[in-house]
Amino acid sequence: MGINHKMENTKKQYWKGLEELTKNPEYEKYADKEFPEYLPVGEEAEGGTGASRRDFLKLMGFGVAAASLAACETPVRKAIPYLNKPADVDPGVPNYYASTYVNGSEYCSVVVKTREGRPIKIDGNKLSSVSGGGTSSQAQASVLSLYDKERLTAPELGGKKVSWEDLDKEVIKQLSSAKKVALVSNSVYSPSTLKSIEGLQNKYPSLVHVQYDQVSASGILSANESSFGIKALPSYDFSKADTIVSFDADFLGSWINPTLFSKQFAQTRKLSNGKKSMSRLYSFESNLSLTGANADYRTAIKASEQGVFVANLYNAIASKVGMSKVSAPKIADSAILMKAAADLLKTKGRSLVVSGSNNENVQVLVNGINSMLASYGATINLNSAVYTKKGDDKEMINFIKGLNAGSYDGVIFYNANPVYDHAQGAQIATGLKKAKFSISTSDRKDETAALATVIAPDNHYLESWNDFEPVAGKFSFSQPTISPLFDTRQAQESFLAWAGDTASYFDMLKSSWSASLTGDIQAGWDKLLQDGVVEKTIETTEITFVGDVSSAAQKVSTPASGLELVIYENYSVGTGIQANNPWLQEMPDPITKSVWDNYITVAPKMAEELGLVLGDMETQLVSLTVGNQTIKAPALVQPGQAAGTIGLALGYGRTNGGKVANKVGVNAYPFIDNTKGFQNKSVTSGVKLELSGEKYRVAQTQTHETYMGRENVVQESILSKYKKDESAGRYHPMISTYSGAKKPGTISLWKGHEYPNHHWGMTIDLNSCTGCGACTVSCQAENNVPVVGKEEVLNRREMTWLRIDRYYSSDAPEGDLTAMEIAAENPEVTFQPMMCQQCNNAPCETVCPVAATNHSSEGLNQMAYNRCIGTRYCANNCPYKVRRFNWFKYHDNDQFADNTSMNNDLGKMVLNPDVTVRARGVMEKCSFCVQRIQAGKLNAKQEGRRPVDGEITSACASACPSEALVFGDLKDPNSKISQMLKIKEVENEKGKKDLEVTEPRAYHMLEELRVDPNVWYFTKIRNKEENEA
Amino acid sequence: MHSEAVVRKPLVTGGKTVHDVTEDICKRVEEKPVKSWMAAMAVSLALLGFGAYAVFTLVWEGIGSWGLNKTVGWAWDITNFVWWVGIGHAGTLISAILLLFRQRWRMSINRAAEAMTIFAVICALQFPLLHMGRPWIGAIWALPLPNTYGSLWVNFNSPLLWDVFAISTYFSVSLVFWYIGLVPDFATIRDRATGISKAVYGALSLGWTGGAKDWSRYETVALVLAGLATPLVLSVHTIVSFDFATSVIPGWHTTIFPPYFVAGAIFSGFAMVLTLLLVTRRVFNLEDYITMEHMSVMNIIIMVTGSIVGIAYITELFIAWYSGVEGEQYAFYNRALGPYAWAYWSMMTCNVISPQLFWFKRIRTNIAATFIISIIVNIGMWFERFVIIVTSLHRDFLPSSWAMFYPTWVDVGVYIFTFGLFFTLFFLFAKFFPVINMAEVKSIVKTTGEKTDK
């Protein structure tokens, strides 16, 4: 019996409505129609006019259009709304958190900008006295490393993904059964991390902690131990030094703490009406470094000559201060060294001698010199020890011996990758086979982690809690700015777990800091995190120099005659930890202006001797042999390279760094000479170089080396002339008219613009810009500037809005235009940051046929990307060549996979939501960070006030460690920029109020064009003698 | 007293009668395509096909498929644009200015020359379109059209916008002028044709009856259009030169450009007319209509305009030196001695030296020499634009940005595309349209033909 679904006919009637019941005639009329309500379609048909064909067409047309529109509907984008809005996250409103960037021995106290919970930008923490409020390019770029798709997403055991519980069980089992375990790391200067490692050591007493640095300072550490009994890296204060002598210590680029040193050095280089003195920097080096490029006197010496030069300097000073001389061979041309000695003595107590050598004996001599010059307590502070380079080279070398002897059962690599970045990496790789287990906490399967049996991936620093003590008594904190993106765990948590400690690392961190707080603990803790830094007073002890200089002098190496290889750390990729970061790979090296490669730098003369045939960015591969190791790398001709030396940068040649890093350049670490028991980056014997005959192209963003004597571009002078005349070095173009020569500013076809409210401008001090390039990476991060890859840079199409032009001087006579193209053998160097000059009379604006580039009421030359049709006329007509065209679609395009910030979902999280990602075919350029200006104005408006000077600043200016770039409102008479430019309001010929800049050093580049930029350059003043300039 | 120049050479040779003219010209239209035409057409279409692939690549991939870079934002694109526009000038000059001056020798060449103008301008127009980063919107936004963006208007300060007006005016006037001239000849073909041809040519001839009224109006319109077209000969290239002259770039920012560009345009235009006519008269056996006298006269024009161009080059050098402006001086130093010196000296050789050979009558009246020199002149004029655009841009104010330009296959391909387009159109014209203005030539057969003299 089935259920009868049919409704029984009850003859019951259901009305559709009252109308049916009442038999409403209007209703009856349409009752049998499909759509009983009024439809205009059939109306005329009923009237008998027969117009329904037109209606049909209308409907068909609409239907087809609607159907095709519906078919074209854009795919649904992923967007996850907040169900419950977090209290401190407002869409569109950024939050800032103080944190600390640490990468190996590189340290920077930073402020992280987050939008909707995503960290998107790193700026310097102005409260920090360790990094001085500036940032390095590496720190700037680190935010992109967070969103690296090639980070490990889960812990791994024997190559398989496992849960953390299983991993912990396995690790504890292995650690418990191990006889001897080493924990290998770079310098660890986090007190709480050290405590967590101690906890591990307490649980497993056989565990030893070995620290090494990719670029160590062990020479200074041991020299200080023997000279003063303090094994420490001292704090240097370049701001107090009037004479600085650097022996291959690239303190502006890579040595110890370049971010702070750049700031300190820049302070001594700033000139104004009230301060007409500046420091003098002597540099003796083999490769042309940033320090050498900024030196007033640079001498190119062979690496093996350094010891002799230092010893000679010692003697020159010793003889004047009545100390006994040491034995030192004479040097051929000592004029500049003697001049340096005289200057050092003249500024005794305000002098500083530094050396980048890791040879203890050289450093003992340097200590001796500094001691004679009374630098200790003045420019050098040994009490305020720097902990960022603690690594002891001998310890690491011994560990490698032990590992190969099979004396270690297990190794924990705590964020260290020595297989790649240690000279004996290959030995570590083979030695690891003898260990029963190895654990890596690396964030990726790098060269070392790939060999490890266990990978317990650490969080990125932006996902971590931590504290740091980079300098004795000076602490800083890291706090997570985003939840871990992957199933990773902070290494310290791992250590705690393996030690059987159930407390979280955060609790440990907080409790240890709370102990030092008084009063309201929570408020105190919050303040610590908010400031990100805290300083404690340290005990000071008297120091006396007891070093044995005469025996040190005997032990310093004597000059060698063969070819020497000087390995250096470059300014973009650095030690190579962040080699998978495309922003760094595409950041032009400040000196060579090359990207996406390392290369062997050779002096022009040597290139000639080798028979190197060069084309436009085209060179040849050369094979470099040291001992039994040979590599092939491109040769790059480098003016200023010392004769008989070649240079090679670290950080390249990764094999397991990630898709971006791999196969870029060659690995220089294996060439580091560890045979003398210390890390020696200068290989002074057994170096051979041969042409291979293979062609190779090195991508450079600038290929023309000199400024062709163009005074309208670079205006420079020397200090003695500046003292007499503040406008020394200025070039004053005059325009001939029928009524005589006139200043370009006084005649114009232009009507000028009214700026009723603000008038933004920028000053660039060529004297304090060291050329480091941090600003360029900051600009890239802030403005979503795409990375284009090596091939496109070879095509001269890098997209950077901000570049630093680097010019060499030429020895050619004025007027010989062909010879002037060739740089001098040991050139003077000028760095010139170049971005859109925001011309008041902009030549780009007049030529755009669609007015896509136009002028704002605040002096900005702005781009309406949506309006741009891409004729490129504006770029052609830009005298500064700062406009960048989107030659291709750089986002969501597999051809530009290296542009990770625009080509994968994770990478895109770094994009600044306030800045459009530009489409193919449109022009773009520096906007003076208009989004920052607007945000700043809005903030002030909400609070009912005018923006305060310094509140609104561009990304480049905020990143600059040396404060060479100053951004501000020219209409605010109290702003820093107005003060610097000494702006006066004057009435012009047309009776309008005009701003006149009266600072004698300030100049407009290409002033004679009367494009009237809003960017002023301050003349470059070198502290040289008159007859030498 | 009435006198007549008796020594004037006949403009039409070979004893042609009025009927011969009709036969000779119409035969080409009516007969089956000859093999040489088929071959030429096949080559043109092949070029067009390859070029279209290059254009597709360009539009699909982006302007990056060209060799341009951050420093050199224009190269082959605008070089080709100016070159094609310049070539067009001869047609307008021949038909309009020579009409006003009653130069009757123009009658047998003006049709082909005007066709060349139209096709050259069509080719030229490809570049402003294709060189845009976003041509799909640029083609519309560059026009002053009402829009829904509020008061968003084009920038009337921009020389590129002036170009839009100049070229579009030039194109429309030239097209109308050319077509009006074709109407009586279409009617002739219509009257001889049957079937579909009759219908097509009937439509094209706009109901021409050949009546006195028709002729009277035809003459009037021709004169009015000639009057309109004459200033265009001067204005179009003047405005094109403003693209450069109004900029700030050394080597571009030059007041001499307008006359220099116009002379150059006529120079290259006549060379191109010669190249084409020498081939056409040979292929279609039109030696009696396009005579040695035509060659000679046109060669003299080439020589004169070539000399003007030469003087302009030298003036540029002098002014650069005399100005005392460093950037300006370097721009010209760099042209002559920099990395693009080969282009500069190619230009100098082709444009300044080669036309001077026409001082010799033997060269002026030698077909082979004329043909070779006409091609050399066009190569030279291409280099002139390349030199102006690329060598000025590649090293301007800031040495840090100095760069070289290397063309890619797409640069070459798009140029080939315009050649394919030009020759396809030209050969179609040569086959289906009367290549010589029959109606006008008939008017001179009587007075200057050989038969009537006898």
Kind of pairing, strands A645-649 and A600-602?
antiparallel
Determine whether the interchain pair B133/A921 forms a contact, defined as Cβ–Cβ distance below 8 Å: yes
Measured between beta carbons, the chain A residues lying within 8 angstroms of B399 are 704, 706-708, 710, 713, 807
Please give the residue of chain A at the shortest CA–CA distance from B151: A851
**Interface membership of B409 toward A (CB under 8 Å):** no
Name the residue facing A879 among B153, B246, B396 (closest C-beta): B396
Measured between beta carbons, the chain B residues lying within 8 angstroms of A849 are 142, 154-155, 158, 160-161, 164
**Interface membership of A886 toward B (CB under 8 Å):** yes
Q: Is the pLDDT of residue A67 over 80?
A: no
pLDDT in tens, A899-916: 999 998 899 999 999 999
Q: Is the pLDDT of residue B454 over 60?
A: no
Name the residue facing A922 among B61, B134, B135 (closest C-beta): B134
The candidate with the shortest Cα–Cα distance to B411, out of B140, B69, B46, B88, is B69
Six token digits for residue A467: 């504290």
pLDDT in tens, A941-957: 999 999 999 899 999 99
Six token digits for residue B281: 């008269």
Strands laid side by side in the A965-969 sheet: A965-969, A760-765, A1015-1018, A1002-1003
Q: Is the pLDDT of residue A59 over 90?
A: no
Measured between beta carbons, the chain B residues lying within 8 angstroms of A616 are 404
- The chain-wide mean pLDDT, for chain B, equals 88
**Interface membership of A851 toward B (CB under 8 Å):** yes
Determine whether the interchain pair B134/A870 forms a contact, defined as Cβ–Cβ distance below 8 Å: yes
Q: How far is A466 from chain B (nearest CA, A)?
A: 44
Distance CA A985, CA A974 (A): 13
Q: Is the pLDDT of residue A404 over 80?
A: yes
At residue A814, the pLDDT reads 81
Measured between beta carbons, the chain A residues lying within 8 angstroms of B68 are 872, 885, 887
Q: Is the pLDDT of residue B1 over 60?
A: no
Indicate the residue type of A117. G
Kind of pairing, strands A280-285 and A297-300?
parallel
Kind of pairing, strands A380-386 and A233-236?
antiparallel
CB pairs under 8 A between A and B: 171
Name the residue facing B138 among A798, A869, A889 (closest C-beta): A869
At residue A41, the pLDDT reads 53
Domains of chain B: 18-136+154-453 (1.20.1630.10)
Q: What single DSSP character describes residue B432?
A: H
Q: Which of B157, B334, B400 to mutate to test the interface with A (most CBs of A within 10 A)?
A: B400
Q: Is the pLDDT of residue A247 over 70?
A: yes
Q: Is the pLDDT of residue B11 over 80?
A: no
The candidate with the shortest Cα–Cα distance to B229, out of B118, B315, B309, B372, is B118
Please give the residue of chain A at the shortest CA–CA distance from B60: A888
**ipTM confidence:** 0.92
Q: Is the pLDDT of residue B113 over 60?
A: yes
**Interface membership of B131 toward A (CB under 8 Å):** yes
pLDDT in tens, B358-397: 999 998 888 899 999 999 999 999 999 999 999 999 999 9
pTM of the model: 0.89
The candidate with the shortest Cα–Cα distance to A720, out of A280, A339, A265, is A280
pLDDT band at B436 (very low <50, low <70, confident <90, very high): confident
pLDDT in tens, A540-551: 888 888 888 888
Report the range of poorest mean pLDDT among A88-102, B56-70, B437-451: B437-451
Q: Which of A714, A869, A899, A923 to mutate to test the interface with B (most CBs of B within 10 A)?
A: A869
Q: Which of A614, A700, A836, A877 to mutate to test the interface with B (most CBs of B within 10 A)?
A: A877
Distance CA A765, CA A32 (A): 86
pLDDT in tens, A170-189: 999 998 888 899 999 999 99
Determine whether the interchain pair B398/A834 forms a contact, defined as Cβ–Cβ distance below 8 Å: yes
43-82 of B, contacting A, C-beta below 8 A: 61-64, 67-71, 73-74
Please give the residue of chain B at the shortest CA–CA distance from A799: B70
Determine whether the interchain pair B161/A919 forms a contact, defined as Cβ–Cβ distance below 8 Å: no
- The chain-wide mean pLDDT, for chain A, equals 88
Phi/psi of residue B35, nearest 5 degrees: -65, -40
Q: How far is B262 from chain A (nearest CA, A)?
A: 22
Distance CA A395, CA A398 (A): 5
Determine whether the interchain pair A710/B137 forms a contact, defined as Cβ–Cβ distance below 8 Å: no
Name the residue facing B73 among A706, A708, A872 (closest C-beta): A872
Determine whether the interchain pair A850/B71 forms a contact, defined as Cβ–Cβ distance below 8 Å: no
**Interface membership of A986 toward B (CB under 8 Å):** no
Determine whether the interchain pair B248/A843 forms a contact, defined as Cβ–Cβ distance below 8 Å: yes
**Interface membership of A1022 toward B (CB under 8 Å):** no
Six token digits for residue A401: 């011996």
pLDDT in tens, A126-148: 999 998 888 999 999 999 999 99
Q: How far is A792 from chain B (nearest CA, A)?
A: 9
pLDDT top residue among A991 and A304: A304
pLDDT in tens, A973-1001: 999 999 999 998 877 666 667 788 889 99
Length of chain B: 454
Name the residue facing A817 among B64, B69, B330 (closest C-beta): B330
Q: How far is A380 from chain B (nearest CA, A)?
A: 39
pLDDT band at B447 (very low <50, low <70, confident <90, very high): low
At residue B400, the pLDDT reads 93
pLDDT band at A323 (very low <50, low <70, confident <90, very high): confident
The candidate with the shortest Cα–Cα distance to A230, out of A12, A593, A468, A539, is A539
Determine whether the interchain pair A875/B73 forms a contact, defined as Cβ–Cβ distance below 8 Å: yes
For A716-1028, which CATH class? alpha beta
Report the range of poorest mean pLDDT among A26-35, A522-531, A597-606, B179-188: A26-35
Determine whether the interchain pair B132/A843 forms a contact, defined as Cβ–Cβ distance below 8 Å: no
At residue A2, the pLDDT reads 45
Q: How far is B167 from chain A (nearest CA, A)?
A: 15
Six token digits for residue A427: 């030995």
pLDDT in tens, A804-837: 999 999 888 887 888 888 888 899 999 999 999 9
Distance CA B159, CA B239 (A): 7
Name the residue facing A869 among B69, B71, B133 (closest C-beta): B133
CATH of A219-385, one of 3.30.470.20, 3.40.228.10, 1.10.10.10, 3.40.50.720: 3.40.228.10
- Topology given in CATH for the domain delimited by A561-697: Barwin-like endoglucanases (2.40.40)
Determine whether the interchain pair B64/A703 forms a contact, defined as Cβ–Cβ distance below 8 Å: no
Report the range of poorest mean pLDDT among A811-815, A1021-1025, B77-81, B282-286: B282-286
* Mean pLDDT of the region A308-331: 89
Share of chain A above pLDDT 90, in %: 59
At residue B453, the pLDDT reads 43
687-746 of A, contacting B, C-beta below 8 A: 702-704, 706-708, 710, 712-713
pLDDT in tens, A544-593: 888 888 888 888 878 888 899 999 998 889 899 999 999 999 999 999 99
Q: Which of B340, B389, B398 to mutate to test the interface with A (most CBs of A within 10 A)?
A: B398
**Interface membership of A849 toward B (CB under 8 Å):** yes
Alpha helices in A663-709 (DSSP H): none
Indicate the residue type of A204. Y
Please give the residue of chain B at the shortest CA–CA distance from A842: B248
Q: Is the pLDDT of residue A889 over 90?
A: yes
E runs forming strands in A664-768: 682-683, 687-697, 716-718, 735-737, 740-742, 760-765
At residue A72, the pLDDT reads 61
At residue A913, the pLDDT reads 92
Determine whether the interchain pair A877/B247 forms a contact, defined as Cβ–Cβ distance below 8 Å: yes
Q: Is the pLDDT of residue A89 over 50?
A: yes
Report the range of poorest mean pLDDT among A869-873, B227-231, B280-284: B280-284
Q: How far is B134 from chain A (nearest CA, A)?
A: 5
The candidate with the shortest Cα–Cα distance to A432, out of A395, A399, A397, is A399
Q: Is the pLDDT of residue B33 over 80?
A: yes
Q: Is the pLDDT of residue B444 over 80?
A: no
pLDDT top residue among A251 and A69: A251
Range(s) of chain A covered by CATH 3.30.70.20: 716-1028
pLDDT band at A1 (very low <50, low <70, confident <90, very high): very low
Determine whether the interchain pair A704/B248 forms a contact, defined as Cβ–Cβ distance below 8 Å: no
Determine whether the interchain pair A712/B326 forms a contact, defined as Cβ–Cβ distance below 8 Å: yes
Q: What burial class does residue A524 get, using C-beta atoms within 10 Å of its C-beta: 0-12 exposed, 13-18 middle, 19+ buried? A: middle
Please give the residue of chain A at the shortest CA–CA distance from B390: A876
pLDDT band at A45 (very low <50, low <70, confident <90, very high): very low
At residue A85, the pLDDT reads 77
The label of the residue with tokens 């179609």 reads B428
pLDDT in tens, A743-762: 888 887 887 888 889 999 99
Report the range of poorest mean pLDDT among A234-248, A687-701, A986-1000, B102-116: A986-1000
At residue A143, the pLDDT reads 93
Please give the residue of chain A at the shortest CA–CA distance from B396: A879
At residue A630, the pLDDT reads 92
Please give the residue of chain A at the shortest CA–CA distance from B149: A867
